[in-house]
Every structure is written in structure tokens, then in C-alpha cells.
Homo-oligomer: A and B are copies of this chain.
Amino acid sequence: MQDDPVINFGKRVRDLRDSRAITQDELAHLAGMDRSYVGQIERGEKNITIRNIHKLANALQVSPKDFFD
């Protein structure tokens, strides 16, 4: 069982993004971040900060809580 928060967070972002049928590029643009960075987050390669968590939550129109399920 993989319980690294960075991994789980990335999976959650990908799920939410897929459910909205948008690309990494589009999500990056909505959140005001770099396209390759979004990819790195989804792959669990980056230890994201709380400010960017909020940016992604807003871009995906969810509560930050929804990333921790």
C-alpha cells in the first residue's frame, strides 16, 4: 500500500482532471502553472506546496479537502 502523500495527491489530481475531461495543458493554464509541472505532480514527483494545492482546487472547482480521500 502506497501511502506517500505525494503519490496519493497526484493520483487524486489525475482522477479529478480526467473526470472533467481536460488535458494537463488546460489544467495548467486554469491553475496558472507550468504544463510540465502538472505532469510531475500527477506522477508523484513533486512535493507540492499548500498555495498550489489551492490553485489546483480552484482550477478543478473542488475543495482542497477533496484531494485527501
Of A5, A9, A48, A50, most buried by chain B (CB within 10 Å of CB) is A50
Nearest B-chain residue to A64, judged by Cβ? B68
Find out whether the CB atom of B51 lies under 8 angstroms from the CB atom of A49: no
Find out whether the CB atom of B65 lies under 8 angstroms from the CB atom of A5: no
Task: Given A5-B54, A65-B65, A68-B65, check contact A47 B49 (CB 8 Å).
Answer: yes
- What's the Cα separation between A64 and B12 when bound, in Å? 14
Of A47, A48, A49, A51, most buried by chain B (CB within 10 Å of CB) is A49
- What's the Cα separation between A5 and B48 when bound, in Å? 13
Q: Which residues of A contact B (CB under 8 A)?
A: 5-6, 9, 47-51, 53-54, 63-65, 68
